[in-house]
Amino acid sequence: MSNRRDFIKISALGAGGAALAASSVSFLKGPSLFASDGPKGAPKNQNLRRFPTYCEVCFWKCAGWTYVNDDNEIVKIIGNEDDPHCNGRLCPRGTGGIGMYNDEDRLKTPLIRVNEGGKQTFKEASWEEALDLIASKMEEIKSKYGPESFALLKHGSPGSHFEHLFKAYGSDTIGEPAYAQCRGPREVGFSTTFGSWVGSPEPTDIRDTKCLVLIGSHIGENMHNSQVQEMSDAIDKGATIITVDPRLSTAASKSKYWLPIKPATDIALLMAWVHVLIYDDLYDRDYVNQYTIGFEQLKEHVENMTPEWAYGITTIKPNVIRETARAMADASPSVIVHPGRHVTWYGDDTQRARAMAILNALLGSWGKRGGFYFKEKLGLPKYPHPPFPKPKWSWETLGEKYPLAGMGITTEIIKASIPEEAEGHEVKAWLIAGTNLIKTIPNKELVRKALNSIEFLAVVDTMPMDITGYADVVLPECTYLERYDGIRSATNRKPNIALRMPAVEPKYNTKPAWWMAKQLGDRMNLQEYFNYNDFSEVLDWQLQKVGTSLEEMQKIGYKEYERETGSPYLKNGEDYKFNTSSGKIELYSAELAGLGFDPMPVYTPHPEPEYGFYRLIYGRAPMHTFSRTANNPNLTDLKKENDLWVNPKVAKLWDLETGQYVWLKNQDDVVSSFPIKVRVTERIRWDSVYMVHGFGHTNRKLSRAYGKGASDTEMITNVMVDPIMGGTGMRGNFVTFLTEDPGKEVEL
């Protein structure tokens, strides 16, 4: 099929590239897992200068120091000792951040799509040309359809600069995958219960917990730095870990209880725990009496949700359900039923998050030491600019049918970009900054249709990723080590800020996102919104307002403030008003009932794999982040490809061996572009197979990542949408094995 917007392979200079750090990774053993002095091999006795940064390899945003030698080479990145996100130790990915800078496949100069002799290709362009073109398209869309029809899809630091531009331009049609593909359901589940989002970093008081319950959440492979460190400390101090996972994850292997649950049945287990806590009188009676409403309704609701009932659904034995409920109650209130983070699983995810929130309420853990602390962050004053114009419609309008959506739903913006799918307002153009939609959004066909419908696409990225190949204009951003960005003001036990500044000049012809946004603003007569020459002026202005300065922050990198909202913990019996409509923790949600949803979580069965098919589940590897690190020279050195975990029973049935490559075919006959290596292991249930997300790259210009491993996203064509907030449940897909090469042409 010929497309309006063909994928274009971006040419890159050179190939290969020597790998740098090869530090060994041993799980959950603090000191050996996290680097405190960066990669080995940096020459000694050099004059090193250090510059503060916070890491962009994932969104934990650890503060660190970039060390540069006299030749202006970055030699290492280490954690900032004062920063509670990392406690001076970066994870393997953060240490390997140097690889983002050194990667010779990086985008090097702006590119513009041209048609040469009927063939679409990219030509190298100047910044003037590329920015002029984007600005003129933004003006054109604005006058033809209104600014709202130009959408911004973003993730990470570059996104905030373009968000400012888009709001100034008149569009709030903005979405990011961190909501409907990630945390959205838990934010809604917890806010309808406690009146507060969980947020990032999660306010889980793991270091002082006596019992940590992980529902899937695979801390240790999910390498959110201080969480892993605190979990390791808690284990050393004797905390009980309970892990519910169909796979023996790293966390499960460190747990006292591993509950290898049948996938998609967690709500039944959670409600059976609620039943045991209530009917065996194990809940925190004083806390429940004082702070919650709806207890009697909940009690009645779970009357028949016994461990015996749940056993038939989850395959977890009734005595194990009782024993683990008791272990939680014994630790109460220093117990955490972890809300998880990537929770868009089965479409009833807000309800699963509610069930987890309710359990925490019964255990009295919200607002308690060793449970959840009350987080606080420093409000940074906004650099002055005129008020933003009010858009006629926005992400909210597009997400209207999901009444509790709290942020833009990427998939609704994508649908609104396809005329046949749009319900009312139409999106006509996109700017994408820092998100690789092809690997990030399930149901590739939908993304592909949208890419073929929109009139214009600009992509801002650091690498020639899948999505850049669809752009009309590609803007190469310099890496986080080469630029200023917004101040990190994070929620934590104490409010704090961290600075990111350039350690070296941008390599090649690359530029920071703040500069691009300002340049576009200037071209569209929006100068008043960009009233500075350099972003450092904005930072200095903001920092002065909070009692420091750019100069000071350049020296210290990180600064902590005293709390202004009192103790992070509730005192026994303390009066406290929760931010819900009743002022109480809502075990029964009148809000959900009013919207026509179950006021208390109900287990509903989900489809199961047909004979010969296995549920595809996926997760993280400690040395990679999504698809963004797959080509990183330092990190591919630690792990080059993903593998497919297969239970020995299944392997026997299919005659599969460890090390053998297979292709996958899903329930909709979609075949994987690349084969994946089998790993036969007892660590996974027989009804599921598992792989790490982020591999199977189709862009040949990623010289290390191309064709390595398989893409989970490619197999995710069935999406179960959460009716409450629009999250895209991605774990209802089933695959079978093809042992012969299906000869599939690599699709881009």
Ligand X SMILES: Nc1nc2c(c(=O)[nH]1)N[C@H]1C(S)=C(S)[C@@H](COP(=O)(O)OP(=O)(O)OC[C@H]3O[C@@H](n4cnc5c(=O)[nH]c(N)nc54)[C@H](O)[C@@H]3O)O[C@H]1N2
Q: Interface with ligand SF4 by CB under 6 A: which residues?
A: 55, 57-58, 60-62, 86, 90-91, 93-94, 223-225
Contacts made by residues 311-320, CB under 8 angstroms, sequence distance 24+: 313/262, 313/265, 313/268, 313/603, 313/605, 314/259, 314/261, 314/262, 314/265, 314/266, 314/268, 314/269, 314/272, 315/260, 315/261, 315/262, 315/265, 316/259, 316/260, 316/261, 316/269, 320/257, 320/259
Residue 178 or 268 having the CB closest to Mo ion: 178
Contact status, residue 244 vs residue 215, Cβ threshold 8 Å: yes
Shortest reach from residue 200's CB to Mo ion, in Å: 9
Residue 219 or 328 having the CB closest to Mo ion: 219
List residues binding Mo ion (CB under 5 A).
182, 342
Residue 36 in tokens: 């405190």
x/- track of binding to ligand X for residues 301-340 (CB under 6 A): ---------------------------------------x
Residue 147 or 434 having the CB closest to ligand X: 434
Q: Kindly give the interhelix angle for 513-523 and 127-145, rounded to the nearest 10 degrees.
A: 60
Contact status, residue 370 vs residue 363, Cβ threshold 8 Å: no
Select from 408, 462, 516, 488 the least CA-distant residue to 174: 408
Shortest reach from residue 563's CB to ligand X, in Å: 27
Residue 391 or 464 having the CB closest to ligand X: 464
Shortest reach from residue 117's CB to ligand X, in Å: 30
Choose from Mo ion, ligand SF4, ligand X, none: what does 94 bind? Cβ within 5-8 Å by kind.
ligand SF4
CA 226 to chain centre: 16
Residue 94 or 469 having the CB closest to ligand SF4: 94
Residue 292 or 625 having the CB closest to ligand X: 625
- Subset of 426-445 contacting ligand X (CB under 6 A): 433-436, 439-440, 442
DSSP symbols for 526-549: -GGGG--SSHHHHHHHHHHHTT--
Shortest reach from residue 182's CB to Mo ion, in Å: 3
In this chain, which of 148, 477, 637, 643 binds ligand X, going by CB under 6 A?
477
Helix (H, G, I), strand (E, B) or coil at 704: coil
- Subset of 342-361 contacting ligand X (CB under 6 A): 342-343, 345
Residue 210 or 338 having the CB closest to ligand X: 338
Shortest reach from residue 570's CB to ligand X, in Å: 26
Residue 55 or 212 having the CB closest to ligand SF4: 55
Shortest reach from residue 390's CB to ligand X, in Å: 28
As to burial, measured by CB atoms within 10 angstroms (0-12 exposed, 13-18 middle, 19+ buried), residue 419 is exposed
* β-strand pairing of 643-646 with 614-619: unpaired
Contact status, residue 76 vs residue 37, Cβ threshold 8 Å: yes
Choose from ligand X, Mo ion, ligand SF4, none: what does 90 bind? Cβ within 5-8 Å by kind.
ligand SF4
Total binding residues toward ligand X, as defined by CB under 6 A: 65
Tell me the C-alpha distance between 386 and 526, whole Å: 10
x/- track of binding to ligand X for residues 11-50 (CB under 6 A): ----------------------------------------
Render the burial of 320-349: b for 16+ CB within 10 Å, e for the rest: bbbebbebbbebbbbbbbbbbbbbbbbbbb
Select from 205, 203, 229 the least CA-distant residue to 369: 205
Choose from Mo ion, ligand X, ligand SF4, none: what does 462 bind? Cβ within 5-8 Å by kind.
ligand X
Shortest reach from residue 186's CB to Mo ion, in Å: 11
Stretch that binds ligand X, among 43-51, 112-120, 475-483, 732-740 (CB under 6 A): 475-483
- Subset of 175-214 contacting ligand X (CB under 6 A): 177-178, 181-182
CA 44 to chain centre: 37
DSSP state of 17: -
Helix (H, G, I), strand (E, B) or coil at 652: helix
CA 66 to chain centre: 24
Contacting positions for ligand X (CB under 6 A): 56, 58-59, 155-156, 158, 177-178, 181-182, 215-218, 222-224, 244-247, 249, 261, 263-264, 266, 340-343, 345, 433-436, 439-440, 442, 460-463, 465, 477, 479-480, 513, 617-622, 624-628, 690, 693, 712-713, 716, 730-731
